[in-house]
Amino acid sequence: MSILKLEPAVKDYLWGGHRLVEEYHVNYSGPVCAEAWVLSCHPDGPSVIASGEYKGKTLPEYIREKGRELLGSSCRRFEYFPILTKLIDAKENLSIQVHPDDAYALKHEGQYGKTEMWYVLDAEPGAFLYYGFQRELSLEEFEERIRNNTLTEVLHKLYVKKGDSVFIEAGTVHAIGKGILLAEIQQNSNVTYRVYDYGRIGKDGRQRELHIRQAKDVTRRLPPSRRETDYPHVADCGYFTVDRLFLDGEHSAKISGTVDSTSFLHILILDGEGRISCGEDAMPYRKGDSFFLPASSASWTLEGSCDALLSFVRPPRSCR
């Protein structure tokens, strides 16, 4: 097969809403759908193939059966599948958190660290993200503000709107604010160190665990620098490259590309409807659909109207 349509794993975290079900056609019957892991080989929530002869298999099972060659030559440097892609609906604020880099995470957690990017799909008026610090903090001030619950006073508020993107390197303190819907493309990791959680109570009736010691080890206590990319790249680093694709259905209603031997391609449909084809495979698409195209799948075509994110892994020498 040249096109694998994927069904996501779903997470019902307490801060989530229900827009992913209502607007992005995520198949889930629970009251809270906080995250949909639309491209995942992570054991905490693998994606499942939704159509064709491999329907019902998880994406990791398919890769084990068909071989790692379908990931492409650019992925040989990674021990595990490199990317995890999510849709996230923040009805309430997420915790203030930080992710470790690869060296720390592999040593202490047995999985990759997490560098990630956010692409904002919708945001209520006045919605903002926490993104790094306003100024440099000493370790002593960092510890003191964690103890007295004043950390948010020195965090940088980044007000966002639909179409904004933010690149978040490992070690950067951050949080998604309430009223924001976004797509997240990240390293294949589920390591998160909470620093502050507004005193919220989890499903077990207790305050959720904080990870202060680990956060002190990995946090960069400096203001972050915004990372610039060239169109059509929304993000471009050694772990993943993300491009935005837009068809208005009138002046532009068809686009083609090629999946060569260097990398698989993931296509996430953010809006619109139409038809996707690759090789002998073709199927309709709509808002929220997730497609995995193995390396060397040759030419693909999207027809109709769509706003989409295309994710792949570039060769090491061309990453920056």
Q: How confident is the model over 86-123, as pLDDT tens digits?
A: 999 999 999 999 999 999 999 999 999 999 999 999 99
63/52: higher pLDDT: 63
252 and 192 in a common domain: no
Domain limit, last residue, from 218, 248, 275: 218
For residue 317, name the pLDDT band (cuts at 50, 70, 90): low
- Position 226 in a domain: no
Phi, psi of 319 (to 5 degrees): -85, 150
- Position 193 in a domain: yes
- Position 211 in a domain: yes
Catalytic residues: 194
- Position 122 in a domain: yes
**Global confidence as pTM:** 0.94
110 and 163 in a common domain: yes
Domain limit, last residue, from 218, 251, 268: 218
- Position 243 in a domain: yes
169 and 64 in a common domain: yes
- Position 227 in a domain: no
pLDDT at 319: 41
Average pLDDT, the chain: 94
Write the DSSP string, 195-259. Answer: EE-TT-B-TTSSBPPP-HHHHHHH---S---PPP--TTEEEE-SS-EEEEEEEESSS--EEEEEE
Residue with tokens 């919708």: 122
For residue 248, pLDDT beyond 60: yes
The tens digit of pLDDT for each residue in 62-78 reads 999 999 999 999 999 99
Cβ atoms 104, 113 nearer than 8 A:
yes
The stretch 267-275 carries a mean pLDDT of: 98
- Position 271 in a domain: yes
Percent of the chain with pLDDT over 90: 88
Percent of the chain with pLDDT over 70: 98
The stretch 36-48 carries a mean pLDDT of: 97
207 and 169 in a common domain: yes
The tens digit of pLDDT for each residue in 160-176 reads 999 999 999 999 999 99
Among 148-152, 199-203, 287-291, 316-320, the range with the most confident prediction by mean pLDDT is 287-291
243 and 139 in a common domain: no
209 and 249 in a common domain: no
Q: How far is CA 247 from CA 260, 269, 287, 293, 302, in A?
A: 23, 11, 13, 20, 9
274 and 131 in a common domain: no
163 and 43 in a common domain: yes
Angle at 243 between CA 114 and CA 157, to 5 degrees: 55
Q: Output helix, strand, coil percentages for the chain, rounded to the nearest 5.
A: 15, 40, 45
For residue 58, pLDDT beyond 60: yes
Q: CATH number, domain at 298?
A: 2.60.120.10
Domain limit, last residue, from 175, 195, 218: 218
The tens digit of pLDDT for each residue in 172-202 reads 999 999 999 999 999 999 999 999 998 887 7
For residue 204, name the pLDDT band (cuts at 50, 70, 90): confident
For residue 294, pLDDT beyond 70: yes
197 and 309 in a common domain: no
pLDDT at 174: 97
pLDDT at 206: 82
The tens digit of pLDDT for each residue in 227-246 reads 767 777 899 999 999 999 99
308 and 278 in a common domain: yes
Determine the structural domain holding residue 25 and report its residue range: 4-71+79-218
The count of structural domains within the chain is 2
237 and 214 in a common domain: no
The stretch 19-43 carries a mean pLDDT of: 97
295 and 165 in a common domain: no
- Position 223 in a domain: no
